[in-house]
A and B are shown apart, each in its own frame.
Chain A
Amino acid sequence: MTLPFRRRHNDAEASHDRARALIATGFTQAVEPADAAWLDTHLAGCPECVADAAAYAADRELLRALRDQAPEPPRDLWARTAAAIEQEHSRRDRGTRALRTPRGWRVGRVPMGVASGLVVIIVVLSVSLAPRGLPLNPTGPAGGNVGEATPGSEATPIAVTADALAWIQVAPDGSYEFRRATVDTVCPDIRSGCATLAARVMTRLDLTQAPQAVVLSPTGSEIAVVTSSGSIGGAEIVVVPVPTAPTGASASPSPVPPTPDDSATVSPAVTPPSITASPSTTPPGSIGPETISPTPTIEPTGSAAPSAGRSIVSGVIVVGDTAYSPDGQWLAFSARPADGSTGPDLYLWRVGDEQATAVTADHRTFLAGWLGNQVLANTVVSSDLVVAPVLEPAGSPKPEGSPQPEGSPRPAGSPKPSAAADPGVTPDPSAPVVEEHPIAFTLDPETGITTVIAANDMWHPTVDPTGRSVVYWEGTVVSDGTGTGWALGTGRLVIDGWLDGTAEPSADATRSPNSTASGNLPGPTASGDLPVATASGDLRASPRVGPAGHPVTIAEGPGVAFDSLFDPSGLRLAVWLADPTDPAVGTLRLIVLDPDTLQIDSTIDPLPGVAALRGISIEDGRLAWVTPPGQDGEGSHVQVLGWRGREFGQIRTIQAERLFVVR
């Protein structure tokens, strides 16, 4: 808003401004006689100013009427304040930082700023789709590993049947260890209850770049490591085979790992993909498959088999999540070239392929997750332009830094390439903030068919595995100014019922891409192995798939980022909200849904807003996250909330000395 009385060159305008200023001043103090006389003269010839004077007076009366509507403070306000003062004094006495008085869900502004500078990496793996019931560590650790303590005698443990947990951490020698642990006991009081969680080193990874995210294949036989994108060459995604179960000295070794040179000869466990893999076009300077090399385990048990990594994409900045399809056949992610020439596109990698392939070309598409075996993604449009995602022509895999396709103009409102050129560019705070509108759509990786989801402003939807509930940001998004993506705009984080639309889409639910609203964007090329895609630009087109229309707010914005994950039952929801000052850390909460109504069970609050690093994992019976270093003067732990029915407890690993927060 401009200042109403700035100095103007126009004399008449300046006079009006002076008149308004004098009128306003007159409400609270006497105006000098000379000024009053001038004002009277001016008002006599200025009906506009007279009207303004009347408006000021009327507005003032309206404002003063608020004095009759004084809101009453809550009755316990003094008790809360006194407690906070006592706590403040105790904190001073201790010379340590104290927690704030509990304040419902707004608590959670824990000191996290120190998190970014520390040196340990623990990546909680998303073992979400690991084979159910796989006893990763049925007999306890094989020995020689950290954290094998037995529960303390004073523990009041809760036996749980939880899915196994996996993570990566840095070993003392600087290598990365892939660890797994079985969670079978948790304790209501983490400090006086359970001993530390026993972990087993499954294999070692010789990463040259810190991980940013790691996901485990549903088969449990490989992990996809997204490396950090801080280097000039950008990030890559490396797929590394991992042992699926503890192996002793007599255990069979893992399948012979591929070497970088003959990776194409590895027989994939799946049918060859329909999307043609690109030739090996790793550019100079990029990090090739050799960045993760098999390292024979040095565990006393000899449990970890050698592993080899294969880079499926490099020279990119991976934006958002990376996720395997539930059937384990595909890996999806969104990424943009490391050179910042374009915004992000959706990539798919069929397990076993040599390279991942970009399947959109609008440079503004984000992976949200999977809806069954359909990719769930977002594209962003300006308010007056509703378009379907633009599909990349089949058979034209997009290696890193590939130029923008010919004839593909930058859609309105997309991140400016100039701003995107430097991944580390600082957003210009003076730049106007343009709120844009996300559209969610599904894409069938086998057929390429896309279907727009009938919901306005649905960003980053997560549908629970049972297909009954959805969590999403209902609102706008704004460019984050770096070209890497969007931050949350105006809106709210909601949970709603989900209509899974098992019926066939209506005739108008899918359209030829040529009939979309974007006449200036290229349609997909129906050639090669990628089937003709159909898409819809009409948000009203697909009434059977989408949110039920009764959203309940979980969190309010504006904000920067969030993550939400359901457990397999769809009745436990983990929500993580990024801290705006350091998006690597945030606040994590577990929400319990009533099994009958699927509504939030407000009577139970097992994890009210704890500090957690980005990267959480929820499975049957447990939620795992990494605590930021500096909490209570400690380093990071992998912290686990386990449950059996409505009983909840926690357990954690021992503190890691050198931790990098990765995700």
Chain B
Amino acid sequence: MLSSGEPGVFSITAGLSDRSRAGVSMNDTWNRESAGSFVEALFARHQGEIFAYLVRMLRDPELAADLTQDAFVKAYKAYDTLEKDENARAWLYQIAHRVALDHIRRRKIVRFIPFTGESPGSSPSAERIALDVQLSGPLERAMARIPERQRAALLMAEVHDLTGLELAAALGVSHVAARALLTRARESLRQALAAERAAEAAAEAERDIAYGQGLERRR
């Protein structure tokens, strides 16, 4: 049974052997408890980075929370597919990555959004503004413009510090392919950031012109 409070201290291998996890069905009581403990420990250690990764991938904290939950449920279900405990982190990223891509693929759907009680035209909360700023800078917009797999590769390699092998495992590709993807991602980001900055400069120039024209009219 899982604890309902805070997840326990991380102890992936406590009482578990690789062999014991293999080939045991989910309906096995022992396995259920072991899987639960295992995922609870994984959650305690990695929930922050998995959540952050999904926020960065999707630019939506609420959605990221939902998908983090999804990822750990999937980890629970796929518990016996992890061969070595030392691969747990990359394995978890792989699950989260697939969850994110699945969601992006399904995104062709209109979603109801939570009602906040905001009146039409009312000002957004300071918290919302701070979040928007955090999620809507040129870098974030540029990242949103590049292909998802490239975005994932950049985030995992540069922000989440996955090693080359971990990156390959998480992306589900060979080491060479992961490196090539990362290389393409850097170029895509360079181009996207340049485009974002150019657009921002153009908008700024437009505002200056409009401001100047306004001044002229007032004179």
Q: Which residues of A are in contact with B by a Cβ distance under 8 Å?
A: 1, 3-5, 20-21, 24-25, 27-29, 52, 55-56, 59-60, 62-64, 66-67, 69-74, 77-86, 88-89, 92-93, 101, 103-106, 108, 488, 493, 496-497, 548-560, 562, 575, 577-580, 587, 589, 591, 597, 599-600, 602-603, 605, 609
Contact = CB atoms under 8 A, between A and B. Distances in A.
Interface size class, chain B: 35 or more
B94 to A, nearest CB: 18
A77 B65 contact: yes
A55 B187 CA distance: 9
Interface of chain B, main secondary structure: helix
A88 B113 CA distance: 25
9 contacts: A24-B183, A25-B183, A66-B56, A71-B61, A71-B134, A86-B2, A493-B110, A560-B109, A589-B112
A3 B114 CA distance: 38
Point out which of A62, A77, A83, A104 has the most chain B C-beta atoms below 10 A from its C-beta: A77
Interface of A, helix, strand, loop or mixed by DSSP: mixed
A600 B134 contact: no
A232 B182 CA distance: 52
Nearest to B183: A24
Interface of B: 2-7, 26-27, 32, 36, 39-40, 43, 47-49, 51-52, 55-56, 61-66, 68-70, 72-73, 76-77, 106-121, 134, 139, 145-147, 154, 157-159, 161, 164, 179-180, 182-184, 186-191, 193-194
A82 B110 contact: no
* Residue among A52, A72, A103, A577 with max Cβ neighbours from chain B (10 Å): A103
Contact of A551 (B65, B110, B120, B191): B120
Contacts of A52: 190
Nearest to A562: B110
A56 B68 contact: no
A81 B43 contact: yes
A602 B115 contact: yes
B127 to A, nearest CB: 12
Contacts of B51: 71-73, 77
Contact of B2 (A28, A72, A82): A82
Nearest to B108: A580
Nearest to A79: B4
Contacts of A104: 62, 114
B77 A88 contact: yes
A-B pairs, top 10 by smallest CB distance, nearest first, are A559-B110, A550-B120, A105-B112, A4-B187, A550-B121, A73-B51, A602-B117, A602-B115, A24-B183, A82-B2
Contacts of B64: 71
Contacts of A93: 27
Q: For B7, B68, B76, B190, which residue has the most chain A Cβ atoms within 10 angstroms?
A: B190
A600 B186 CA distance: 44
A71 B110 contact: no
